[in-house]
Structure 1
């Protein structure tokens, strides 16, 4: 028989609604899996067993389903506030921080009936290539615990891949749901900025960071997004997001690029990506093509550095000794930027955005690798070179994902089919803003016809 922990979130919600399973027995099954696996993998910073059991009992006592995720366990990345549950942001500075209110994305999950099991690990403030901090970690890859899970939603990806939760929330700035999804053989969605509102965001028009989700299948991603999407008056991006629900018509046209013309990408990743493109040709018309991304790496470096210095600069001045070296580097990178530096980066960003728009007059989707390298040993804190060529900064290995963050197009990541001996690897499927439903429709084709779907890890 299929274990409860192998079921999809969609299947669990259906079974609980039909009273074929109780939420309590589902929650207990996942808590048992966490107890069995997490000492080795370190996916969770905090597990709220008592709170999860109380929420499950509330679901089971309800006369009608609370919502589409009725009784389904979820995990929340520890960068996102949860009322009454410790939220550390991966930092010892906040080890005792317990928010009074949920972030809106968490509140919407709870209103949909989801049961929060706990908080998943992240590097300090989400800055770091390896998912570790002074409180927890490293979060180990379930396909080889000697290797990294990726950052910064590594805890979420491992929790899903190892069957410790069917669905996990994440956040994505430069690739933080996509890289761990690729490393851990799961699917992820980084939606159009504003699709999931962030009404507390200090810079309301900032579109570099978004909430997202990780799951073992596309249907679960679609379900999670459906209950969290929707405008909020305090998030100006959310009021402007369109929704293109047109069905796919005929054979999709796909532009493919291994590197956007500028991103450093390892040779072995290029080879796996070429094989994936060969498989894609069975279900779509595939043409090598890329938007003009000249200057994209420098542009993202500038904008990211400015935002980080603005949001965390005070900590550098007052608590420097308690911060990890990675966080210090990230903050310092933005301290000397001028207004001209920032505005010039915005000009270049606009040109890149318009080049993406032009490409989508000729293609339905743009496909690229979801990571530039394969997972590396946990003891190596940063990617400093690819194929022997030194990188200029510690974030440049993320260029293949952060270029998409730069322009704010939605991205679905799915694992490609692989041999048992091969490490997991995923591809990014990119669509125009507001086209998440089309992404999910195409993702289902790849799952069903090409076998681009999750495979259980050895553990």
Structure 2
């Protein structure tokens, strides 16, 4: 019989096949992962809420079904606590919503349930997703399983740790400026930030906003592709989803990869640059690698402006009425947008358009663009923000995310994979970027370097 410990080491894809084939029951899978949560989450704080009884009921339904409910039949998953789950507390990482229980699932959650996935609980996030360290007044800090003194990254840190520590094989996340990619890099996980609109958000107030997307974290490329396959598909209430290009053409022959450590503008630590150079050297064994970057001049200022405007629009009333209950990070984020004018916003959109077109020009001569998935390595949970890199002060607390938020700015899909590392080296990931709609191309290439180069997850040595 398969042990509980070995069940928790299975990928979501392998686990789904085992359950569908009758080798395991859904209840076996749920109990094994609940046991792992009970064993490890006291020190890691990956989950805000664990719904053990709800998961057991869902497993019973799966086991009683005459045939698999869907591609994720019986597979335990985690949902980031920024996303609504019917009948299960959704706090958005804030004491203001401590007792909030949504009446309806977000569409991405509904599609996961329809595919047979079993929600074990809600993973931790900074308040409203704003924060470099995954902590809030309810839970955390979420600790890095490779060194519990260090941060897991924000804002999908709970999901990254849950996956890396084997508490779930697959977890949902969201990504605005790097929120699935940075935690993936810090926790040796794989992640996908798909083309905006690929996973619809029909209740998003700003329907044409493509800065934020749903995404996933897992321990293998196959799992990310499986998760995206059951959640993708248009929705008439999301205007972005109608315009998503589907480009399933795979790259024939030797791939052409453009590589950049910083897009020409992002602050990136020296030791990250060294690890990235080693990763590029490995990639040269399977592809033609050429240093190159889109013209990203002004990208940092552009993202700061657009992000600040969106946050002030979404949370400005809350700052006026509930300021004392908000974290300092949230207050700073809201206030950053208060002084912007319409001209500021439109000038940022103008520059964003130019950067987008420069990305398109690069992809006329390259199949993929590769960059670091984080500008720094994980730091102490006791330090709330990255204020300097290699001794040089950053202008704002979000500038350390420039190496990821530049990609958010233009809306290209990104696959993050762990790079190879030495026994005593901290995890480090790379972003693999493709044109819009080219997720299948990303997954195919990701599988190749996962298998051929060993760019894959290695389990942490937890007690």
TM-score by length of 1: 1.00
CA RMSD across the alignment: 0.5
Partner of 2:53: 50
Partner of 2:180: 177
How many angstroms does 1:339 deviate by? 0.1
Asked whether 1:20 is paired with 2:23, we answer: yes
How many angstroms does 1:247 deviate by? 1.6
How many angstroms does 1:242 deviate by? 1.1
Cα deviation code 1:87-129 (max 9, x no counterpart): 0000000000000000000000000000000000000000000
How many angstroms does 1:420 deviate by? 1.1
Partner of 1:110: 113
Partner of 2:380: 377
Cα deviation code 1:17-45 (max 9, x no counterpart): 01100000100000000000000000000
Inter-partner Cα distance in structure 2 for 1:247 and 1:202: 35
Cα deviation code 1:158-197 (max 9, x no counterpart): 0000000000000000000000000000000000000000
Inter-partner Cα distance in structure 1 for 2:181 and 2:20: 31
Inter-partner Cα distance in structure 2 for 1:249 and 1:237: 30
Structure 1 segment 75-86 matched on structure 2, within 5 A: 75-86=78-89
Cα deviation code 1:346-379 (max 9, x no counterpart): 0000000000000000000000000000000000
Partner of 1:65: 68
Partner of 1:305: 308
Cα deviation code 1:184-218 (max 9, x no counterpart): 00000000000000000001000000000000000
Asked whether 1:337 is paired with 2:340, we answer: yes
Asked whether 1:236 is paired with 2:239, we answer: yes
Inter-partner Cα distance in structure 1 for 2:142 and 2:193: 21
Q: Secondary structure at the match of 1:50?
A: helix
How many angstroms does 1:418 deviate by? 0.6
Inter-partner Cα distance in structure 2 for 1:322 and 1:446: 46
Partner of 1:158: 161
Inter-partner Cα distance in structure 2 for 1:248 and 1:145: 40
TM-score by length of 2: 0.99
Structure 1 segment 347-362 matched on structure 2, within 5 A: 347-362=350-365
Q: Secondary structure at the match of 2:240?
A: coil
Inter-partner Cα distance in structure 2 for 1:108 and 1:424: 31
Cα deviation code 1:333-354 (max 9, x no counterpart): 0001000000000000000000
Inter-partner Cα distance in structure 2 for 1:403 and 1:180: 17
Asked whether 1:218 is paired with 2:216, we answer: no
Aligned residues: 459
Q: Secondary structure at the match of 1:238?
A: helix
How many angstroms does 1:387 deviate by? 0.1
Inter-partner Cα distance in structure 2 for 1:217 and 1:415: 10
Partner of 2:131: 128
Q: Secondary structure at the match of 1:361?
A: coil
Partner of 2:209: 206
**TM superposition outliers: structure 1 runs of 4+ over 6 Å:** none
How many angstroms does 1:248 deviate by? 1.9
Asked whether 1:324 is paired with 2:327, we answer: yes
